[in-house]
Structure 1
Amino acid sequence: MGLHLTQIDRVETISKKDFINKYFKPQKPVVIERFIEDWPAYKKWSLSYMKEVAGDKIVPLYDDRPVNYKDGFNEPHAKMKMSEYVDLLKKEPTKFRIFLWNILKEVPILQRDFSYPDFGLRLMKGLPMLFFGGRDSYTFMHYDIDLANIFHFHFEGKKKCILFDQNQNKHLYKIPYSLITREDIDFNEPDLKKWPALQYAKGYVTELEHGNVLYMPEGYWHYMRYITPGFSMSLRAIARKPKNLSKAIYNVFIMRSLDTVMRRMRGQKWIDWKNEQAITKTNCKLNE
């Protein structure tokens, strides 16, 4: 028995009105399969093209090592030239991923290849981010600090996405003062004997292919696994629900600062305590 996951709705394309009424207002995810076929990026963007236009850029790389108290917020684990990284992706599986790479800042020419779609939400135009990964690399289950509405555009290859909304927090072994779950949970094939609360979590799953767009509502947890090497771009719109907006402000200005101070004061003991609390708190709610 695995996780309780429902396939995410899929549509070929969608009007702004239908998107707002069927998916944004009820805060429900959806995959739009053929929305960007008029973008130059749809035909041009590939790993080879990225190597061509950004090969000399030094890119930040992340892997799946556990959080260490010495790590800064979103501090990369390694750096490499983009050309070398693309060669590595094509040569063999690697756990190195590019995470939150701002293409507007680094490679302005790529701005010509896409436009900001009108979904009825005001997209933040300074924050288009790229994410790259090799076969079987993955992100830990997490949600974004600003609880934004996210439009995730995938290019080249296939990618598996598992989502949960914030109502499932009590089942996910969430780390306190953090945006992640226990890092030793394999959400691709979870051990439900070791993590029994997961059997009560209800989420969503889908696979993205080149040109697909995934809408992730405000504050949705997401686990991304690259089935084949590929990359995605995220555009985001600020959280609209007052509860989520206030939570985003708390995360950015209070939670992150508190966590940083405690790491400096207590070091690895703080990280270990948080990991223990994730189990203790989840088990307490499970027993209730």
Structure 2
Amino acid sequence: MNLIDIPRVSQITKADFVANYFKPQKPVVIERFIEEWPAYTKWNLAYMKAVAGEKIVPLYDNRPVNHEDGFNEPHAKMKMADYIDLLKKEPTKFRIFLWNILREVPELQKDYTFPDFGLKLLKGLPMLFFGGKDSYTFMHYDIDLANIFHFHFEGRKEIILFDQSQNKHLYKVPHSLIAHESIDFSNPDYEKWPALKNATGYKTYLEHGEVLYMPEGYWHYMKYITPGFSMSLRAMARNPKNLGKAAYNILIMRYYDHIMRKIYGQKWIDEKNEKAIRRTNTYIDSAIKSE
């Protein structure tokens, strides 16, 4: 893959962010944006255990999608205190995904403010994400193709991004938001997945207190190098094309996929994965012939 480092700035003004990153839809890491938040010094795994230890949290791992899985249905549940103990004890594939802190632990709202990046942030949807050493998300993009601000706390996290123009290289699974689940984006097998050699994207590592801006509809793969967690704030897509895609995903695509799983079972999932490979290989063949 052709990956360049995501640009980094120490601080940034709203005007510079809008002009240099939002309008051209380019990612950026802001290294020192949240140092005045109480969360900057307070938020770590021990603090989360103290304030949310009794909460039951949804857990996800890296198992392949199964036809019996519901949309974003967790693979397990556990008390937050027990989960954090597990993170500190040993590597685990279990992650917390899309955990709404506004609803679950209202007191955490006192530890941060909604920043003014020149975009209207959705204040009802601050989400937390936790992971253990070497756990990762499949390469995917979000259903609403939102602008995302990803604030990282504790530990180190590997990030790989692609924009929507790279779909043809990523073995995108039809009627879904993911690339083929067998691909290890940290160490891709180019003999098995040759199209990835032509994919052009971005990479970085996030440390405590750093903020990553991911533009509308960007594909993202995230791997926890050490146990840690992040919070995402989001703003609706502004590009009319992306708004249309978001509406289709939310109102049609996910329900169509759910119905097809009910009718055809695992055969539907397997056919989608096979089609991802066929479509990408067809693109490679046509590109070679046109040279």
Counterpart secondary structure, 2:148: strand
Partner residue in 2 for 1:113: 111
Looking at structure 1, the residues matched to 75 and 18 of structure 2 have their Cα atoms a distance apart, in angstroms, of 39
Partner residue in 1 for 2:186: 188
Q: CA RMSD in A?
A: 0.3
Displacement of 1:33: 0.2
Partner residue in 1 for 2:97: 99
Q: Percent identity?
A: 74
Looking at structure 2, the residues matched to 6 and 38 of structure 1 have their Cα atoms a distance apart, in angstroms, of 30
Name the amino acid aligned to 2:63: R
Q: Does 1:285 align with 2:283?
A: yes
Partner residue in 2 for 1:253: 251
The equivalences for 1:129-278 within 5 A come to: 129-278=127-276
Deviations 1:125-146 (A, max 9, x none): 0000000000000000000000
Name the amino acid aligned to 2:227: P
Looking at structure 2, the residues matched to 226 and 269 of structure 1 have their Cα atoms a distance apart, in angstroms, of 32
Aligned residues, how many? 286
Displacement of 1:175: 0.1
Q: Does 1:36 align with 2:28?
A: no
Deviations 1:28-51 (A, max 9, x none): 000000000000000000000000
Displacement of 1:242: 0.3
Looking at structure 2, the residues matched to 4 and 95 of structure 1 have their Cα atoms a distance apart, in angstroms, of 27
Name the amino acid aligned to 1:8: I
Counterpart secondary structure, 1:5: strand
1:125 pairs with one of 123, 126, 144: 123
Counterpart secondary structure, 2:204: strand
**Structure 1: tracts of 5 or more residues without a match:** none
The equivalences for 1:79-98 within 5 A come to: 79-98=77-96
Looking at structure 2, the residues matched to 130 and 286 of structure 1 have their Cα atoms a distance apart, in angstroms, of 38
Partner residue in 1 for 2:13: 15
Displacement of 1:207: 0.2
Name the amino acid aligned to 2:263: M
Counterpart secondary structure, 2:141: coil
Deviations 1:169-220 (A, max 9, x none): 0000000000000000000000001000000000000000000000000000
Name the amino acid aligned to 1:100: L
**Structure 2: tracts of 5 or more residues without a match:** 287-291
- TM-score, structure 2 length as denominator? 0.98
Displacement of 1:276: 0.3
Looking at structure 1, the residues matched to 71 and 204 of structure 2 have their Cα atoms a distance apart, in angstroms, of 29
Deviations 1:207-249 (A, max 9, x none): 0000000000000000000000000000000000000000000
Deviations 1:147-177 (A, max 9, x none): 0000000000100000000000000000000
**4+ residue segments displaced more than 3 Å:** none
The equivalences for 1:49-88 within 5 A come to: 49-88=47-86
Looking at structure 1, the residues matched to 258 and 69 of structure 2 have their Cα atoms a distance apart, in angstroms, of 10
Displacement of 1:102: 0.2
